[in-house]
Amino acid sequence: MMKKKMPYNRVEDFLLDDDFIRYTFDKTAESERRWADYLVVSHPAHSTFLRATNILLHLDECKLLTESQVRRLKQRITRSLHAVAS
């Protein structure tokens, strides 16, 4: 179960969430259900959720972040995904 300060109001809130990162790149039935439930409860966050997803999926093309921010986010993605594999 997600134990986060919700609802997320900023794209950064999603991008700093390891569960969200794992959901974006390695969906499971459970994670899809959790995030779908979250979006039902926090409908205003839906557009922010989609923007964060788009940034993660198109990180190399993102003009909203600096090179340093992109590099740190890629490192966070790697750590998030490896945490599950361990």
62-72 pLDDT tens trace? 888 899 999 99
3 found inside a domain: no
61 found inside a domain: yes
pLDDT reading at 41 higher than 80: yes
Residue 18 is predicted with a pLDDT of 92
75 found inside a domain: yes
pLDDT reading at 38 higher than 80: yes
2 found inside a domain: no
- Alpha-carbon distance 10 to 16, whole Å? 10
Parent domain of 77? 11-85
- Alpha-carbon distance 44 to 30, whole Å? 22
Q: How is residue 42 annotated by DSSP?
A: T
Q: Where are the alpha helices (DSSP H) in 1-86?
A: 11-15, 18-25, 29-41, 46-57, 67-85
Residue 68 is predicted with a pLDDT of 93
At 1, the pLDDT band (50, 70, 90 cuts) reads very low
